[in-house]
Chain A
Amino acid sequence: MSSLSKTKSIEKSRQIEQQFSVLRTALAILFSLIIAFILIATVSDNPVRDFVTLLIGPLKNTSRLTTIVSKCIPLLFTGTAICLVNAAGQVNIAAEGAFFGGAVAATMVAIVPGIPLGVHIPLCILAGAAAGAIVMGLPGILHVRYNVVTIVAALMINYVALYLGLYIILNPLRDPGAGFEASFLFAETTRLPVLFGNERIHIGLVLGVLAVVAGDFLLYRTGFGLTARTVGNNKKCAVYSGMPVGKTIIGISLFAGCLAGIGGTVETLGNYQRFVYGGFTNHGWDGVMLAVLCHNKPQYMPVAALFLAYIRTSADALNFSSSIPPEIISVIQAVIILLIAAERFLAGWEHKVIVRNSRKELEVQGGVK
């Protein structure tokens, strides 16, 4: 067989693999919707109405459409962050702590009065990015330097960031006049510019899209990204070909942390007048789910983030129009992650299709000979 036709055959197999990955994702979503319908049917007085709300509720009015976009913004950041570290083989879920830490650091800057208008927001973003980089970079550094299992270090650092952040917010920065546990008011100069005249769709959306583009460019258009992906796919190969494995892991963790930290910054400044989180916001874990949906390719992140934001808005709509607890949505999420993560789900069928295709091509070539 000539090398050209061999490449062609491999190309075709790869295409089939891709088609199956799309099919697997579609089936996972379909199954999860079926399960959602069953769950709703068991607790609802009007299952059809509630299921329709779940499916198209978010499209009913512009306010909900705005909610989808607004919920999408932070997900773009944490999703891309997790894509980056995942691609380098790092199970670094410190994006959760980086998001929270970014929000805290941004708050520390945002409550300072008297900083000029055009400077204040960039300063907040810088602080958020720095805090995020520290939180998410640490597991990477500990892994490279001390051979610590990244996920364990990341879990621990998440909680350290959480409690340190809560300490800062609830002690030195706490506003006793707020009436609830929250920081002082952000300065007027930190109000994020809005798009389309809607205050919930702020400049964070632009930054989020930029984060996705930057992440995709870094990972798939630069030498650094190629190194990172090689480290993720085959660490030994990267080591033996003389790639700077340690530096790459640390570098990509720091960059991912910056993104997550900026995510926390724009989410806090864009939606609230003061720091109000009392615990984890779950955006980091959402990022893990999104990275799974995207197969670590940031270019698909906007679609995936919109999807997750859509079902979250559905949950809100359901909560509004019926007594069904919105947490039912997390069952849908669980089913989707499980089925997409299950690499052998449909694998038998996929294998058969690839084999059949390769046979056919071999036969064609045999005929030519």
Chain B
Amino acid sequence: MLQYIFSFEFLGAVLRMSTPLVLVGMAAVIGAKANILCIAYEGMMLFAALGGVIGSAYTHNLVVGTLCGMAGGIFIAALFAYFVLYLDARPLLAGLALNTLGSGGTVYMVFLLTGMKQNTSNLVSLKFPTVNIPGIQSIPFLGNVLSGHNLLAYVAFFSVLAVWFLINKTRLGIRIQAVGKNPEAAAAVGINVRRTKFIAMILSGILASLGGMYMSMGYLPYFTTDMTAGRGFIAIAAQNLGLGNPILTMMFAMIFGAAMAIGNMAQSYRLPSQFASMVPYLLTLAGLILMGIRTSAVQRKYPHL
């Protein structure tokens, strides 16, 4: 078992589990920067996962499929943003409703288009390709580490840099931070708070869509009902532990991915997998408590802060 943990196969398994978490974690980072409590990532992922499968199955074109998937995720994100920002719905309730819609709506779409109730395995859809980097793939150690992963795995790590750059180095990113930290001040200097938050949610939706499409066009070759299995919530946890920092969030997403991979492995060794499955959540709780202890210690030392 230990041998397996130090093997390249295990690294691949960790990457497979981490890719959607990193992508949706980045979506959660953008949402958190805009100070929107969004739990609708499950719904976005499910719509995107199904959209990608349907789009690619009917057009046999990966780009069109990806766009269809993104359209699905953006649809949920836009609904969420509209109800929360323009109709004053409480974010938790809008999120709950859209996750429910994601779960039931996809079942309906699957039934409408394929006549099946559980999955789309009778649709011939496309997968994101595995990328073998020429030159690097033949280097003994490095090749196994860096090459031969799903395209979206590379996109996921690229998205970490992209989100970091967006938030810290672009005008839009600074504005998103401003409306998140102090909407009144942002409005006072002429930023359209609602529109900025809306744009943030759409960007968040695009990233969550990529995470969702990885599930149905990478991790598995077809869509099954509720295939995201709580990953949207784990990504929120990673973002919380990472304090909204993209790099830290990615690290926690990967730790969670590793815990999931170990859980899967334990299952195949017929060991109780529940403890490994519990790790991400316990870690998050411990992290949150530690952060709480630290802030209250600071408050005791500097009560005026």
Contacts and interface: CB of A to CB of B under 8 A. Distances in A.
Given A142-B288, A153-B285, A341 B272 contact: no
Interface string B93-129: 1101110110111011001100001000000000000
Interface residues of B, number: 48
A167 B275 contact: yes
Interface stretch (B150-158, B190-198, B232-240, B245-253): B232-240
Contact of B87 (A164, A289, A329, A344): A344
A188 interface: no
Contacts of A146: 288-289, 291-293, 296
A285 interface: yes
Given A91-B92, A155-B233, A334 B281 contact: no
B278 interface: yes
B270 to A, nearest CB: 11
A325 B285 contact: no
A203 interface: no
B228 interface: no
Contacts of A39: 108
A153 B104 contact: no
A79 B268 CA distance: 39
A327 B274 contact: no
A15 interface: no
B75 to A, nearest CB: 13
A147 interface: yes
A151 B91 CA distance: 11
B45 to A, nearest CB: 16
Contacts of A151: 37, 39, 92
Given A156-B284, A325-B117, A341-B94, A167 B272 contact: yes
Residue of B83, B92, B104, B278 most packed against chain A (CB within 10 A): B104
Given A153-B288, A341-B83, A328 B97 contact: no
Interface string A66-94: 00000000000000000000000001010
Given A147-B296, A328-B107, A342-B88, A163 B275 contact: yes
A279 to B, nearest CB: 9
B282 interface: yes
A288 B93 contact: yes
B237 A156 contact: yes
A192 interface: no
B277 interface: yes
Nearest to A43: B112
Contacts of A341: 83, 89-90, 93-94, 97
A156 B281 CA distance: 5
B135 interface: no
A172 to B, nearest CB: 10
A334 B46 CA distance: 15
B295 interface: yes
Nearest to B37: A151
B90 to A, nearest CB: 6
Given A156-B285, A325-B111, A338 B89 contact: yes
B285 A157 contact: yes
Contacts of A352: none
Interface in B249-285: 272, 274-275, 277-278, 280-282, 284-285
B240 A163 contact: no
B236 to A, nearest CB: 7
A86 to B, nearest CB: 10
A159 B281 contact: yes
Contacts of B281: 156-157, 159-160, 163
A337 B97 contact: yes
B8 interface: no
Contacts of A335: 97, 101
Nearest to B94: A341
Given A155-B236, A156-B237, A343 B274 contact: no
Given A327-B103, A338-B97, A149 B108 contact: no
B225 A171 contact: no
Interface string A325-357: 101111101110110111111010000000000
B296 A342 contact: no
A34 B96 CA distance: 21
B101 A330 contact: yes
Given A167-B274, A341-B83, A148 B288 contact: yes
Interface string B60-100: 00000000000000000001000100111110111011101
B87 A343 contact: yes
A234 B116 CA distance: 50
B134 interface: no
B237 A292 contact: no
B230 interface: yes
B288 A327 contact: no
Residue of A148, A166, A292 most packed against chain B (CB within 10 A): A148
A325 B107 contact: yes
14 contacts: A43-B111, A142-B288, A146-B291, A151-B37, A152-B237, A153-B288, A160-B281, A163-B274, A285-B100, A288-B96, A342-B87, A342-B88, A342-B89, A343-B87
The 7 closest A-B pairs by CB, nearest first: A146-B292, A330-B104, A334-B101, A341-B93, A342-B87, A337-B97, A167-B274
Given A142-B292, A160-B282, 9 more contacts: A39-B108, A142-B288, A148-B291, A159-B277, A327-B107, A331-B104, A333-B97, A337-B100, A341-B89
